[in-house]
Structure 1
Amino acid sequence: MEERIIKVLGENAKYDSCGFIRKKESFLPFIYPSVGEKGRICNLFKILLTNKCKSNCLYCVNRRDRDYPRYSLSPHQIAETFYQFWKKGYVEGLFLSSAIDEDANETQEKMIKTAEILRKKYGYKGYIHLKILPGADEYLIKKAFLFATRISINMEAPSTRHLSKISKDKDFSKNLLKRLKYISKINKEIPLPAGITTQFIVGAAGEKDKEIIGFSYYLYKNLGLKRIYYSGFIPVINTPLENLPACNQKREVRLYQADILIRKYGFKSSEIPYDENGNLVLEKDPKLLWAEKNPSFFPLEINKADFEELLRVPGIGFKSAKKIIEIRKENKIN
């Protein structure tokens, strides 16, 4: 029975993004290949503490009114199971999230307890990503910093207006943004090894890409987020949004490309090119489109351009820009 519960709660965890690429279904749905900053793939043990939820978000597989089997695991069960898989080399880290069963603080406490057991009982020193739940008290958020490698809370949408279209139970400012700001504050005092992150559901609330990227830019610049994940909406049967079309995967790709520009390449959100509807152009990379819309920036003198200028050239990334600068120290590039 416990094995079945682990599989169900692992399968339910797939809607929380952590940089993973989902390959074909396996007999171990709780093991997710996650892609790191440098392209390295590592397997994460990704699971929910419970899929019992008091909230009724319109898009969610775990929404309160959905007729679906409900299960929970104890902190000791998750810690022990993860540790066994880690010892055997099947996984390299833990990603722990949860639905909110009656009380956010009680559920959050159990999640933190899981991490504490791993650190203290098993002596585990590896990667633990803890999700902060909407409504969790500040003292629990601070406690999570004692055991986590990375902490996140899902913003889900770029504004109050958009969140209200997909969830009547969550308050954008009080439940989500306020807590993300507090997480950011604590992270400045006690920096997490892998930083703080958030996630947006893309395509469920009628949001524009310009709104998503604009808010992402604010989060990167003002709250110091390490990463932001863009999870394309996937309709779930027996939910109010089951007939809404799934998000175009190419839209998700373009959002990540625009994200890199504002996160790593020095672009302002106002510089990202959009179509007349405020969305990214699906047919073209946003960096290439920016170059086409800014002909005065070119041609670029390759022997004089600084690092940031080189990064704006289509086809040149961090490695290429660094190599160009290194080569021209010795010889002029023709």
Structure 2
Amino acid sequence: MTYVARKLDTYSKLKKLGEVARFDVCGFPSVFTGKNRKFQRFKFIYPAVGKRGSCVRLFKVLQSNACEGNCFYCANRKDRNFQRINFRPDELAKLFLQYYSKGLVDGLFLSSAINRSVDLSEERMFETVQLLRTRYGYRGYIHYKVLPGTDESIIDAAARLADRLSLNLEAPSAKHLAELSPSKNYASDLVGGLEKIARINRQKPLKAGITTQLVVGAARETDREILNLSGRLYEDYKLWRVYYSAFMPILDTPLEELPPCSPLREYRLYQADFLLRRYGFTPQELPFEKNGNLPQDCDPKLVWALRHQDKFPMEINKADFHELLRVPGIGIISARRIVETRKQEKFTRLDQLRKTGALTTRAGNFLTLQGRFYGGGERKATGQINEQLFLWEEL
């Protein structure tokens, strides 16, 4: 059956182009989206987390869903039967400002399908952002999605207006990308584009840095392959974040029969990613199973500790900051507080440790306090989702 197009008003466009923008990730992993029901009134407003855990409401929308690409998993693929919609730059800029002026959103996340050509699509997105900055005087947050194959001069111009630039790598290698989007060149279109953004960022750092996104569970990739790539991206390109998007099959696409990726797998990837970015772990230290994936029944930091029991119990009054970060139940903030508290007094009781914010029910099994062990419980994995590493302190 062929889709019969009808003319849409601006708000109807927004509902459709905002809903399909959900595939660009910018905030909470899908396992936690149920906790943010207050945002479901508007499908184009997405919760992210700002400084000190504050909620940032992003107006997330596509400039166009009409695409020349034919990615096997994508709702906007060229051969799929659906209504193509476009926003004019001034139309979209004014629409965003309506919601911003009413205090309903805090920033803009702008992306687009490749409508006719990369240059034309980038031109329309850039004009939208330029209008906001120059004609309408908007000074708030803008996340600008760079399309594969974009010329470096356009990226440079966008970097002068946006707070963050991103480009989706989609897969951890060219081999895996071929299973998702065989028409794209992994080296030149994707990695090459990210290199351009990184080069510009080194010359004039973006306020909110660079991010990318990977599709999880659609190309037979392993968690090891994904996180090895993430480690290189953080090291070589100084990325702010790598986002992971659990694959969901879309009707009328070549991958519609593929089973969806478990949201828990996506969540474990985020936990492991946090260990790479903030806890001093290397990809080689992450506790992968023989199949190359992370265990799903337990958070990766606890699994690592259980596999390195020769390092525990650790004496809390002697361990340095980086050693404390390896203790399950102790996070970055509590580790800092422990180090500061030790300048005044030694830890001899669990209630002292509890005041630092550490999870004593977990940490107590891996520590001694002035030589005394307070654990006694089993050190074992648990199927319960642990939010210890759910620390979305930035967008």
Counterpart for residue 151 of structure 1: 165
Deviation at 1:27? 4.6
Counterpart for residue 15 of structure 2: 7
8 Å CA contact 2:58–2:108 kept in 1: the answer is yes
**Aligned residue among 218, 240, 258 for 2:232:** 218
Deviation at 1:37? 5.9
* One-letter identity of the residue aligned with 1:8: K
Give 5+ residue unaligned stretches, structure 1: none
Secondary structure at the counterpart of residue 99 of structure 2: helix
Counterpart for residue 137 of structure 1: 151
Counterpart for residue 372 of structure 2: none
Q: How does 1:255-266 map to 2 (within 5 A)?
A: 255-266=269-280
Counterpart for residue 229 of structure 1: 243
**Aligned residue among 295, 310, 318 for 1:304:** 318
8 Å CA contact 2:81–2:252 kept in 1: the answer is yes
Deviation at 1:299? 2.2
8 Å CA contact 1:20–1:32 kept in 2: the answer is no
Deviation per residue, 1:42-95 (Å, 9 max, x gap)? 211000000000000000000000000000001111111001110000000000
8 Å CA contact 1:138–1:182 kept in 2: the answer is yes
Tell me: CA distance 1:37–1:56, structure 2 relative to 1, closer, same or farther (3 Å): farther
> Aligned pair count?
334
The higher-RCO structure (CA 8 Å, 6+ apart) is 2
Secondary structure at the counterpart of residue 165 of structure 1: coil
Q: Within 1, Cα distance between the matches of 2:311 and 2:19?
A: 48
Higher mean Cα deviation, 37-46 or 209-218?
Answer: 37-46
8 Å CA contact 2:17–2:61 kept in 1: the answer is yes
**Aligned residue among 85, 93, 100 for 2:99:** 85
* One-letter identity of the residue aligned with 1:62: N
Secondary structure at the counterpart of residue 315 of structure 2: coil
Secondary structure at the counterpart of residue 47 of structure 1: strand
Give 5+ residue unaligned stretches, structure 2: 1-8, 349-395
The 4+ residue runs of structure 1 with deviation greater than 3 A are 20-27
8 Å CA contact 1:202–1:230 kept in 2: the answer is yes
**Aligned residue among 182, 186, 199 for 2:200:** 186
Q: Within 1, Cα distance between the matches of 2:281 and 2:63?
A: 39
Deviation per residue, 1:245-292 (Å, 9 max, x gap)? 111011011000000000110000000011110000000110001001
Percent identity between the aligned chains?
A: 50
Q: Within 2, Cα distance between the matches of 1:267 and 1:27?
A: 39
Secondary structure at the counterpart of residue 124 of structure 1: coil
Q: Within 1, Cα distance between the matches of 2:54 and 2:213?
A: 21
Q: Within 1, Cα distance between the matches of 2:270 and 2:57?
A: 21
Secondary structure at the counterpart of residue 106 of structure 1: helix
Q: Within 1, Cα distance between the matches of 2:144 and 2:106?
A: 15
Counterpart for residue 72 of structure 1: 86
Deviation per residue, 1:112-166 (Å, 9 max, x gap)? 1111111111111110000000011010011111100111000000000000001
Deviation at 1:170? 1.1
Counterpart for residue 45 of structure 1: 59
Across the aligned residues of Structure 1 and Structure 2, the Cα RMSD in angstroms comes to 1.2
8 Å CA contact 1:19–1:36 kept in 2: the answer is no
Higher mean Cα deviation, 37-46 or 323-332?
Answer: 37-46
Higher mean Cα deviation, 12-21 or 179-188?
Answer: 12-21
* One-letter identity of the residue aligned with 2:309: P
Residue 198 in structure 1 maps to residue 212 in structure 2: yes
Q: How does 1:107-118 map to 2 (within 5 A)?
A: 107-118=121-132
TM-score by length of 2: 0.83
Counterpart for residue 186 of structure 2: 172
Q: Within 2, Cα distance between the matches of 1:110 and 1:179?
A: 19
* One-letter identity of the residue aligned with 2:136: Y
Q: Within 2, Cα distance between the matches of 1:173 and 1:120?
A: 35
8 Å CA contact 2:155–2:197 kept in 1: the answer is yes
Deviation per residue, 1:299-333 (Å, 9 max, x gap)? 22212211111101000001110110110001122
Higher mean Cα deviation, 118-127 or 56-65?
Answer: 118-127
Deviation at 1:20? 4.1
Counterpart for residue 261 of structure 2: 247
Counterpart for residue 55 of structure 1: 69
8 Å CA contact 2:108–2:142 kept in 1: the answer is yes
Q: Within 1, Cα distance between the matches of 2:101 and 2:309?
A: 55
Residue 105 in structure 1 maps to residue 113 in structure 2: no
Q: Within 1, Cα distance between the matches of 2:99 and 2:314?
A: 52
Q: Within 2, Cα distance between the matches of 1:277 and 1:122?
A: 53
TM-score by length of 1: 0.98
Counterpart for residue 327 of structure 1: 341
Tell me: CA distance 1:325–1:239, structure 2 relative to 1, closer, same or farther (3 Å): same
* One-letter identity of the residue aligned with 1:5: K
Deviation at 1:202? 0.3
Deviation at 1:296? 2.0
* One-letter identity of the residue aligned with 1:186: I
